[in-house]
Structure 1
């Protein structure tokens, strides 16, 4: 059973480019439906990556985000040793 899926012009253009690239590199012609099915199968195997791509924030932070976190920081003048942290955390 075939259903129509609407895609924007940019996505349609990239799909056509992929289709042409497959034809050039392999000599095989594939339909856009075959190509979309393959892409969906591949994405289905990496569900976590696909889901994560729709999250508002990403980890790790970008260089710009890291730099923004550094603004406003200041030194208290106190040196903290690893033992101090252990004492605070573990008593």
Structure 2
């Protein structure tokens, strides 16, 4: 059973452009259905990447996010060791 998927004009144009480029470079005509099925198959294999692309924030941080974090840092003048941190966290 086929289901229609609505996309905006820009997305439709890009899909058609890719479809034409595949035909031009490989000599093989593919339908938009075949193209979308291929995208979904590939996305399914790397689903964690696809899922992460929809998260509001990502790790690692961007350079601007790193810079923002560093602007808020200051030195207390006291050297802290890993043991100090462990003691504070775990008692």
Q: How is 1:46-85 mapped onto 2 (pairs within 5 angstroms)?
A: 46-82=46-82, 84-85=84-85
Task: Encode CA deviations 1:32-56: one digit per residue, 9 max, x unaligned.
Answer: 1111111111111111111111111
Query: TM-score of the superposition, structure 1-length normalised?
Result: 0.83
- 2:45 is aligned to 45
RMSD (Å) for aligned C-alpha atoms: 1.9
Q: Which is further off, 57-66 or 10-19?
A: 10-19
Q: Give runs of ≥4 in structure 1 deviating > 2 Å.
A: 79-91
Q: Label 1:3 to 1:77 Cα distance change in 2 as closer, same or farther (>3 A).
A: same
In the TM superposition, residue 80 of structure 1 has moved relative to its aligned partner by: 3.0
Listed as ranges, the gaps of 5+ residues in structure 1 are none
* Aligned residues between the structures: 91
Task: Encode CA deviations 1:2-30: one digit per residue, 9 max, x unaligned.
Answer: 11110011211111121112112111011
Instruction: Determine the C-alpha separation between the residues in 2 that align with 1:54 and 1:82.
Output: 35
Listed as ranges, the gaps of 5+ residues in structure 2 are none
